[in-house]
Amino acid sequence: MDRIVVKGGGPLAGRIEISGAKNACLALMPATLLSEEPLTLTNAPRLSDIRTMSVLLESLGAEISTMQGGKVLAMSSHAADNHVADYDIVRKMRASNLVLGPLLARHGHAVVSLPGGCAIGARPMDLHISALEAMGAQIDLRDGYLHAEAKGGLKGADITLRFASVGATENTVMAATLAKGTTILRNAAREPEIVDLVECLRKMGAQIEGEGTATITIEGVDRLHGATHPVVADRIETGTYMLAPAIAGGEVELVGGRMDLLGAFCEKLDACGIELSETGTGLIAKRRNGRVDAVNVVTEVFPGFPTDLQAQMMAVMCTANGVSVLEERIFENRFMHAPELIRMGAHIDVQGGIATVTGVEKLRGAPVMATDLRASVSLILAALAAEGETVVNRVYHLDRGYERVEEKLGAVGARIERVSE
């Protein structure tokens, strides 16, 4: 099993190229099931989660080929006739549930295993199920599988989500593109990944309005055609690498990074002493002075502070001036990185969904264990500023969402390497 070894100390300098968004690509890929014509995605990230989704789609009968070293995905579902998403594949990744809506829309039936992924909370499927049931589907849970059927096809409906779930919004929007009539989805998620999905679906012939707002309207069509679509830049990867010079010092240019996708996050960085500036090709991040100042953070649905950047922000707050309070409102069990940061000398007190962090001057290198995707990279960020050597174990989590992290950070001066046992 691979490990990441980091020797702390020294500022960062140079350029990091931002990859396509994992969460956007994972939603775009199942859209191929909606059409018999080819769907090609460019700027795709090269990640284990993308490979898992490819395996799942191929198991359903889709044909997928990669080009340009994996950055282009050419997909065709003209012969996709299997409607069973098997547990052995789905258990590896939460986003596997995004085949449910397209399968129902295309075939009128689907059997999908309950999904897996990082252990950061229950994240139940009830929102997906209730939305699809409102569109006429009958869904039963048997032996760990959702058995869904829509006799006569899905029908448009007026749906209000109890919570602005990204996954439920994506599943519902994809299903509604081929439903009969008009679907109005209220309290919809507004994340950039939703906007990116809708832009792709619109290129395929879908009739959708309101993406990026809380109300999305979809007018069902008889069929969708093929398209070529670039995956939007990964805002979570961008935010992660914006924090690298915040904790280690120096100046880093993030090529392809977009500040407009990270409004609330950028406001917090400005408040704690990080200077951000846009360039013709991306953005530059650097500290204004020495140690950053402590700031309080509350995770919220977009456009609020992203839960997927909470662990990384905590790592930076570990060496900030003052005391910061981080409140996690999206997922339970998402402070599992705190005990590992404490092993490195951080002062963190966790009470339920609130973590209080008292900044220290220096962290110390230590052997630590990654507990989930974002926690793993938070430990790497902390290691950049720690004295001595840090060994991050169980980095298979990392490979689910960060493309060649050791190469990207190594290119800007970090002393980091991947070691295979």
Per-domain residue ranges for the chain?
A: 2-19+233-420, 22-230
- Single-letter amino acid, residue 312: Q
So what's the pLDDT on residue 396?
A: 86
Assess whether pLDDT exceeds 80 at residue 196. Answer: yes
The model's pLDDT over 212-249, given as tens digits with 9 standing for 90+, comes to 999 999 999 999 999 999 999 999 999 999 999 999 99
Cis peptide bond upstream of 303, omega within 30: yes
Q: Would the annotation count 126 as a binding residue?
A: yes
Helices 126-134 and 100-107, packing angle to 10 deg: 20
Are 2-19+233-420 and 22-230 equal in CATH topology? yes
29-43, 50-64, 155-169, 393-407: segment of lowest average pLDDT: 393-407
Q: Would the annotation count 194 as a binding residue?
A: no
Task: Compute the mean pLDDT over every residue in the chain, rounded to the nearest whole number.
Answer: 94
Residue 311 — very low, low, confident or very high, per pLDDT cuts 50/70/90? very high
Where does residue 131 rank: exposed (0-12), middle (13-18), buried (19+ CB within 10 A)?
Answer: buried
pLDDT > 70: percent of the chain: 98
Which CATH architecture does the domain made up of 22-230 adopt?
A: Alpha-beta prism (3.65)
> Smallest Cα–Cα separation from 41: which of 57, 55, 24, 58?
24
Residues annotated as part of the active site: 118
Give the mean model confidence (pLDDT) for residues 321-336.
90
* Tokens 């805002």, located at residue: 235
Q: What is the model's pTM? A: 0.93
The model's pLDDT over 363-396, given as tens digits with 9 standing for 90+, comes to 999 999 988 888 899 999 999 999 999 999 988 8
Where does residue 35 rank: exposed (0-12), middle (13-18), buried (19+ CB within 10 A)?
Answer: buried
Q: What angle do CA 246, 251, 255 make, to 5 degrees?
A: 105
Q: Which residues contact 267 (CB under 8 A, 6 or more apart)?
A: none
CA 333 to centroid of chain Cα atoms: 17
So what's the pLDDT on residue 116?
A: 55
Q: Which residues contact 409 (CB under 8 A, 6 or more apart)?
A: 12, 16, 244, 380, 384, 416
According to the CATH classification, is domain 2-19+233-420 in 3.65.10.10? yes
Residue 121 — very low, low, confident or very high, per pLDDT cuts 50/70/90? very low
The model's pLDDT over 252-309, given as tens digits with 9 standing for 90+, comes to 999 999 999 998 999 999 999 999 999 999 999 999 988 999 999 999 989 999 999 9
Tokens for 85, please give them: 């998403």
Q: Would the annotation count 124 as a binding residue?
A: yes
- Higher pLDDT: 245 or 152? It is 245
Assess whether pLDDT exceeds 80 at residue 119. Answer: no
Alpha-carbon separation of residue 207 from 61, 133, 158, 197, 384 (angstroms): 26, 21, 16, 13, 47
So what's the pLDDT on residue 400?
A: 85
Q: Would the annotation count 309 as a binding residue?
A: no
Q: Would the annotation count 125 as a binding residue?
A: yes
Give the mean model confidence (pLDDT) for residues 132-153.
93
